Structure 1
Amino acid sequence: MNVLYITVDALRADHVTSEIMPKTHGFVDKNMEYTRCYANGPGTPWSFPTLLGSRYSGGTDGFGIPGEDDVRPTLAETLQEEGYATAGFTDNRFASSDYNYDRGMDSMWDSGATSSEKRLKHEVRGRLDQDGLLFKAILRGYHLIDDLLLNIRGDDTRFVRAEVLVDQVTEWIEDRENDWFAWVHPMDTHAPYEAPDEYQRQYLEEPVSRRKSQKLASAATHRPDDLSDKDWQLQKQLYKAECQYLDDQLERLFTSLPDSVRDETVIVVTADHGEMHGEHGLGGHPQQFWEEVIHVPCGISIPGRSNETIDDQIGLVDIPPTILDSVGIEFPRTGTATVSFQMMTA
C-alpha cells in the first residue's frame, strides 16, 4: 500500500469549500473527513514535529527535530524500514533538511528551502532585535528587497508554485515499482499571495503586482493596524485566488494516479496551520491560538474504507500513527501517539 501525504501550508479549514476549492472539498467530502482537526501549534515550526514525527514540538530543543541519533523514528524512517521508497517535496525552510526533516527520505527536493539566501535571511532575523528600529526599518522595505532578489533569480514568486512540486512528485511516483511514500508540501496559500493572473481575475478586476502583494503581506503580518478595510478585503481575495489555483493543482495530482495505483494508495490532505485576514485585528499566523490559525482541513482516503464524517476533535499529531495503521504497520512505541489515534482508526 502506497502513501501520498499532502500537507498544505497556511490553508484554513473554512476555505476548503465547494465554492473556493471544489476539487479538494470533493476529495475530503467523499472520504474520511475530520471536521475538527487542529494544529498542535500556531505555525510551521510547531506543526512539523507532529506531522512527520508524531511528537510535540515542546519535546525537542529549538526548531525542527533531532538528527539521526534520535531514538524516536520519523514517519518516513518507519516506512523506509519496512521497504518503502520515500521522498519529500517542499519549499518551506522550517520543514526542510535544515531541520532534519529529510530523516528517512531517500530523496528530498528542498534546494530552494535550504538556499544560502534563505539561510542568510534567517540568520539576520535571529541576530537582530525584533523590537529595534533597524529590524522594523528592514521589515518596511523587505518587499523591495524580496522583489529585487526574485528579479535577479528570474523567479515569478517567492515560493515554488504547486505546479512545480506536482510535476516533481508525479515524475517520482511514475518511476516507482514497489510501495512508496511521497510527502508534498505546497506553499501557495502562504503569504504573500501571488496566484497567476487568471486566478486573481476571478476575484479582482485586475491582478495586483508581485511587489504590491508582498508589501500587503508584510504589513498584514507585522503592522496590521496600518491596513484599511479595503486592504483586508484585497488580502482575502488574493488568498482565495491562491486557494483556487492550489485546488486545480491538487486535482492534477489526484488524477495523475492511474486507477490501479489509486486503489493501492492512502491519500492524506491536511495543513500545518491556517491564516488570519483581519480577524481580531491580526494578519498572517501570529503565535496565538486563534481558530483561524489552528483549525485545519483533514481528509484521508483509505482503500476499502467508506466515506465518513468524524466530528470528534483530533490533532495533527494523530496523523502519522493513523497512516501507519492504515498500511498495516505498528506504530513505534518510542513515538508519541494520542488517545484519539484509536478513535481515528477504529
Structure 2
Amino acid sequence: MRPNVVIVVLDTARFDDARGTVGGAPVMPALDRLASEGTECIRVSATAPWTLPSHASLFTGTYPSKHGAHAGHKRLTDDLPRLPSVLQTAGYETVAVSNNTWISGEFGFDIGFDTFYQTWQYIQSPTDLGRIARTRHGWEMYRSLARELLSGNLPVNVLNALYGRFGRKRTDSGAAQTNEFVRGWLRDRTDDAPFFLFVNYLEPHLEYRPPKSYTDRFLPADVSHDEAMSVPQDAWGYLAGDVELSAHEFDILRGLYQAELAYVDDRLQELLTTLDTATDRETFVVVTSDHGENIGDHGLMDHQYSLHETLLHVPLVMSGGPFTGTGEVSRPVQLVDLAPTILDTVGVDAPALRTETQGLSFHPDADDRRDYVIAEYLAPQPSMDALEKRVDAVPSEVRRYNRSLRSISVDGRKLIRGSDGSRWLYDLTDDPDECTDVSDTHPSVASTLEQQLETWLDSFDHATNRDGPDIGASTRQRLEELGYLQK
C-alpha cells in the first residue's frame, strides 16, 4: 500500500536559523523532533535564491535553465513532467495549500492538483481583490474596487474583497488558516486513495511580524516588542542607501526572523498532529525550504541579487518509510533530488519524469552520488527599472546587480560567476560565511570549476526564451506587498 506524501515548504527558512539554537534550545523544536525520528540532510542546496524558480525545480526535478521559470519568464510551463501530475496519474489525490502568490495558478503551479487552495481568497477565483481591500482606504479603495469588480464573477469578487478587508486572520501569514483548511479537508475526505499534500508556509518571509508572545526569547535583552517592530524592514531602501540600519538593528531583525520561525514551527507541529490522527495510512513527510534570507549579510536584505549560502543552504527533514530513524545524511543534496527520491520511496516508475529530471535520488537503495552543486539566478528580481520606481535613485554600485549569476560547488570549493564577467571563489570549509574571495590566489581552481560549469551547461537543452504571463494588477500589487517589485 503506497504511503501518503506530504511536502511542507517553510518559505524563506535559512538553514543556520531553522536548525540553530538560541539560549541552548532549538529555534524550531518540532522540526528538531521530526529530525530525531527520521532523517535530516544537513548539506542541502536550493537551485535558486527565490520562490518561483526554486519551487519549479522542486516540482520538476530540473534546474532553472531547463524549466525556464525565473524573473525573465515568470511562469512554470507544462512542457516538463512534474511531481504532482505524476502522483495524480498514479492514483493519488493531490492537494496544495499556498500562502505565497508566486505559487498559484497564475504562474503555472496548479497543474496536477485536484485541489489548489490559496489562503488569500475566501472563494477561490482568478481575480484577487483582497489586496485592495486590505491596503486601500476611503474613496481610493472604492475606486480601485470598482475598476476590478467587473473583471470576473461579481458576487465572488465582492465576497473576496470583504474577506480580505475584514475576515482574514491577521495574526500570521496564513499558517493557521492553512491548518484549518487541512483539518477540514481530512475530516470530510471519503477517498481511500493515498494523498499528496503540498503546503507552503509564508511566515518567515519579510516583513517579519511575529506574534508578541514569540519575540521575548529572541530579541536582544534591552529591546521590547514594540521597539523591534519600529525597526525599518525596507530591503530596497536599505540597498539604495535611503535607509540606514546598524548592526544592532540587524540583530533585532534577526530576532524577529527567528521568532517567525518559532511561530511557524508550532503551526508545523499542529499539522503533523493532524496528519497523525486523521489517517491510518503511513505518511511520508518532507519538510524543507525554497531558499534562505540575507539579514544584512553580504550587505543585502531579502533574498535577491546573490548566490551566497545564506540564500542557498536550506533545511531538509524527512520522516516515514526508509527515512525513519536513520539520522543525518552529510552528502550534498539539492531540491531537484526530491522528486526522484519521492518516486523511489512510493514505488512509482514515472519514466518521463525520470528521463527529464536532473536530480539524483538519495533513497537509501539508490547508488547515485552528487559530485557537484549548482545554483542559478537567471535574471535580477527586481529589475533595475522596477527598483527605480521604489527608491529615490539607484546608486551605481547597486546597478552592478543587473546581471545573472551561476554557481558551482565541488568538494568545499564554490565558484560564483556573473554574466558581467565577475567571478568569486570561496573555500567553504575554511570560510563558511563566504567573506574572502580567493579567486586571485587560486586561479587554477577557479578555472577548473568554471570549466565544470560550462560542461554542465552544455549537457542539456535549455528552455527557449518565451514571453512571461501578463500579471494581473491585483496579483502584481500583492507581490509588491511581499517585496517583489514589478515593472
- Place the TM-score, normalised by the shorter chain, in its bin: 0.7 to 0.9
Structure 1 window deviating more from structure 2 (221-230 vs 33-42): it is 221-230
- Residues 222 and 76 (structure 1 numbering): CA distance in 2 closer, same or farther, change over 3 Å? farther
Question: Counterpart in 1 of 2:207?
Answer: 192
Residue-by-residue CA offset, 1:231-257 (whole Å, 9 max, x unaligned) = 211110100110110111101111112
Q: Secondary structure at the match of 2:197?
A: strand
Percent identity between the two aligned chains = 28
Residue-by-residue CA offset, 1:98-156 (whole Å, 9 max, x unaligned) = 11110011111126286546999xxxxxxxxxxxxxxxxxxxxxxxxxxxx99982456
2:89 is aligned, of 81, 84, 90, to 81
Q: Secondary structure at the match of 1:95?
A: coil
Letter in 1 for 2:309: E
Q: Does 1:96 align with 2:104?
A: yes
- Alpha-carbon deviation of 1:20? 0.7
Question: Counterpart in 2 of 1:40?
Answer: 47
Residue-by-residue CA offset, 1:218-275 (whole Å, 9 max, x unaligned) = 5456659721112211110100110110111101111112368376101000000001
Q: Does 1:63 align with 2:74?
A: yes
2:341 is aligned, of 312, 322, 342, to 322
Is the 1:54–1:321 Cα contact (8 Å) retained in structure 2?
A: yes
- Residues 213 and 52 (structure 1 numbering): CA distance in 2 closer, same or farther, change over 3 Å? farther
Question: Counterpart in 2 of 1:8?
Answer: 10
RMSD of aligned residue pairs (Cα, Å): 3.0
Q: Does 1:167 align with 2:196?
A: no
- Alpha-carbon deviation of 1:315? 0.7
Partners of 2:240 and 2:12 in 1: CA distance: 17
- Alpha-carbon deviation of 1:32? 1.4
- Residues 21 and 334 (structure 1 numbering): CA distance in 2 closer, same or farther, change over 3 Å? closer
Q: Secondary structure at the match of 1:287?
A: coil
**TM-score for the superposition, normalised by structure 1:** 0.81
Partners of 1:313 and 1:254 in 2: CA distance: 27
Q: Does 1:264 align with 2:275?
A: no
Q: Secondary structure at the match of 2:285?
A: strand
User: How many residue pairs end up in the alignment?
Assistant: 315
- Residues 77 and 209 (structure 1 numbering): CA distance in 2 closer, same or farther, change over 3 Å? farther
- Residues 84 and 263 (structure 1 numbering): CA distance in 2 closer, same or farther, change over 3 Å? closer
Q: Which has the higher contact order (CA 8 A, sep 6+)?
A: 1
Is the 2:130–2:162 Cα contact (8 Å) retained in structure 1?
A: no
Matches within 5 A, 1:219-258: 219=237, 223=241, 226-258=244-276
- Residues 256 and 220 (structure 1 numbering): CA distance in 2 closer, same or farther, change over 3 Å? farther
**TM-score for the superposition, normalised by structure 2:** 0.59
Is the 2:27–2:261 Cα contact (8 Å) retained in structure 1?
A: yes
Q: Secondary structure at the match of 1:333?
A: helix
Question: Counterpart in 2 of 1:313?
Answer: 332
Partners of 1:282 and 1:339 in 2: CA distance: 30
- Bigger proportion of residues as helix: 1
Structure 1 window deviating more from structure 2 (252-261 vs 277-286): it is 252-261
Q: Secondary structure at the match of 1:257?
A: helix
Question: Counterpart in 2 of 1:299?
Answer: 317
- Residues 317 and 158 (structure 1 numbering): CA distance in 2 closer, same or farther, change over 3 Å? farther
Residue-by-residue CA offset, 1:312-332 (whole Å, 9 max, x unaligned) = 111101111111211111133
Letter in 2 for 1:245: Y
Partners of 2:99 and 2:325 in 1: CA distance: 34
Partners of 1:213 and 1:109 in 2: CA distance: 33
- Alpha-carbon deviation of 1:161? 2.7
- Alpha-carbon deviation of 1:25? 1.6
Is the 1:225–1:281 Cα contact (8 Å) retained in structure 2?
A: no
Question: Counterpart in 2 of 1:22?
Answer: 29
Partners of 2:352 and 2:164 in 1: CA distance: 49
Partners of 2:87 and 2:47 in 1: CA distance: 23
Is the 1:302–1:326 Cα contact (8 Å) retained in structure 2?
A: no
Partners of 1:224 and 1:46 in 2: CA distance: 29
Structure 1 window deviating more from structure 2 (259-268 vs 272-281): it is 259-268
- Residues 222 and 201 (structure 1 numbering): CA distance in 2 closer, same or farther, change over 3 Å? farther
- Alpha-carbon deviation of 1:36? 0.5
Q: Secondary structure at the match of 2:226?
A: coil
